[in-house]
Chains A and B, each alone.
Chain A
Amino acid sequence: MKICVLGAGIADQKSNLESLQSRPAFRKATRNMQLSCFAIEQAIQALPADQRDQTALILGSGLGELDITQQFLSTLATSKMARPILFQSSLHNATIGFLSIQLGMTGPSFTVSNGPQTGENCLELACSLLQNGDCLYSLVVGVDSKVPSFDVDLGEGAGAVLLTTEKGLLPSHRPLGWMGDLQRVSLPFDSAAIYCMAEGFLQVERQPG
């Protein structure tokens, strides 16, 4: 069964997140939440509004909410205070919890974190679920972000793709392309495969003819 890409989006250091950050719901959103949402909002435009419960949401992140975890533990260490709002945003799946609420996604959701294999794992999982009939659409997002207080060069960005099979294709859809073999490009964060895939598809779309 062939898998097609209906939409793609990316967020990187050139992206202007101000429009997101000004929304009340994003007042306490982490960097991961902002980046991933920015990418998803580009990718999700082809998703029929009534199919949010038939869509698998898969998020991949190599480091998870490391910055928030660091903030929680640092505050605990220095002031002996455990801040609940930091804790609930510190777990790996906090990002997907936030995204599911913002997007109204009630289908299956998965947080994947497997080091450099994260991006590929997410895309393979999405394809498995689609081919097995566990969902009609799969929205895959990969995200990693810097930790400002860490003296280490971590990459940052997000990429999202919306996938479906021929069963989910509507006459109004204009697929960006079809899934073939995954090509890895070395980028400085673990969710790279999705980022470069999203970027690749966006570039294909932008090319004339």
Chain B
Amino acid sequence: MGFSSITGMGTVTPAGIGVDSFWNQALQGRSYIQSGLGQISETITSTLAEKTSQKLNRPLLIAYHSILEAMEQAGWSRFNTDDGLIIGTTVGQVPLWEKELMRWAKKEIDFAQFAEFLPYQSLGHLTQSLCQALGFQGRSLVVSSACSASTQALALASVWVQTGLVKRCLVGGIEVLCDLTVEGFRSLQLLSDNVATPFSKDRKGINLSEGAAFFCVEKSDSRPLAYLSGYGWSTDAFHMASPHPEGVGTLKAIQGALSRAQLSPQEISWIHAHGTGSKANDLAEGIAISKLFGNQSPPVSSTKPIHGHALGASGALEVSLCVKALQNRMILGNAPLHLDPEIPEISYALGNQKSELQHILKNTLGFGGNNAALVLSSANL
């Protein structure tokens, strides 16, 4: 399996419209987490709506505009029937129907009134609506593997393009905040009301956020922003809501990614960790990194204190930062103030660092035990 090329990318995040706004926010180390959440403002969504002739709901609007940015950068003026589309998401369009369901549960409306919103529950409805808005008629797939969804989606895009199943692939993730996930994670005592502090001794939990990131992926002979040079995946088969405490599954996914990229651990320039700020995740991930890299790990950091955890879209959003990092030769640092003694010694990126980045390992661990890792490589190789 060869490399695949990322030729275009686009994001919409609480930092603003476009990858540059997201990158600059991260580069400046400015968190957009408020009261524990990262929310795209009404100003941003209104701006997006004004730029759109079609009437799109909020999740579609966010996804659509990140796609347009990616396509423009890649020079894709339109879609062909041999193109692919892979979307990673956890909740899709939940906000469009969950409030109505709760009104029905409280008997404020009858079932027939609620049922008008039920079609939004289907993740296929999201895809179909997006395809309609884009004029897309090729092959599509929706992956809903929680926090590893868009990482898996990117890996699958690479498979599709390399095996010739599609000629080009539009791939990414979209996630929006909703009561289901906010109250759900709160019930599991996994949320922090303050900015998350991944890998630190006193970490209190995660910050949920929202956003979309999409990429244009083509075969490796195209002029890339970066290469997608390896992927790995595994399942913990341990617990529905916690990773394997020894990081067994995530270690396997990382090893798979390095193997497919034909790289040794020493060739990784930066590990962009999943690093959510939850006790269990950071411990499992830290142990896995330590097992593979020993005390010679490349700089490790998580950028989630800046942008929070966008669940199914997190992998894609963070890959966009990795691609910008490769282009700008800059590691985004975020070292914990107080190291957790339970996490074996690994090297944290203490702050932003100029670096001749060649290969970045992007790691994700998902609810339900899905693990996925990617290797992103510089276009200057």
Contact = CB atoms under 8 A, between A and B. Distances in A.
Interface string B165-194: 100000000000001100111111000000
Nearest to A150: B111
A98 B90 CA distance: 17
A14 to B, nearest CB: 27
A77 B367 contact: no
A183 to B, nearest CB: 18
Interface stretch (B97-105, B292-300, B335-343, B346-354): B97-105
Interface stretch (B6-14, B22-30, B56-64, B119-127): B119-127
A110 B159 contact: no
Contacts of A125: 141, 156
Most buried by B among A76, A109, A116, A128: A109
Interface SS of chain B = helix
A108 interface: yes
Contact of B106 (A57, A77, A94, A109): A77
B160 interface: yes
Nearest to B241: A88
A132 interface: yes
A115 B163 contact: no
A129 B143 CA distance: 15
Contacts of B366: 93
Contact of A107 (B146, B165, B235): B235
A128 B159 contact: yes
Contacts, number: 175
Given A114-B123, A115-B122, A104 B234 contact: no
B239 interface: yes
B369 interface: yes
A93 B146 contact: yes
Contacts of A87: 180, 183-185, 187-188
A92 B183 contact: no
A116 B98 CA distance: 22
Given A73-B101, A82-B184, A109-B145, A132 B235 contact: no
A73 B97 CA distance: 11
- Chain A interface extent, by class: 35 or more
B97 to A, nearest CB: 9
Given A73-B180, A90-B180, A128-B160, A64 B105 contact: no
Interface in A51-78: 53, 57, 62-64, 66, 69-70, 72-74, 76-78
A105 interface: yes
B234 A108 contact: yes
Interface of B: 1, 90, 98, 101-103, 105-106, 111-112, 115, 118, 121-125, 127-128, 140-146, 152, 156, 159-160, 162-163, 165, 179-180, 183-188, 233-241, 249, 252, 366-370
Given A88-B240, A90-B180, A125-B156, 11 more contacts: A53-B234, A101-B238, A101-B239, A112-B142, A116-B124, A128-B160, A128-B165, A131-B163, A132-B1, A132-B162, A150-B115
16 contacts: A72-B184, A73-B101, A73-B105, A73-B180, A74-B101, A74-B102, A77-B102, A82-B187, A84-B188, A93-B145, A93-B366, A98-B240, A101-B369, A109-B145, A109-B235, A112-B143
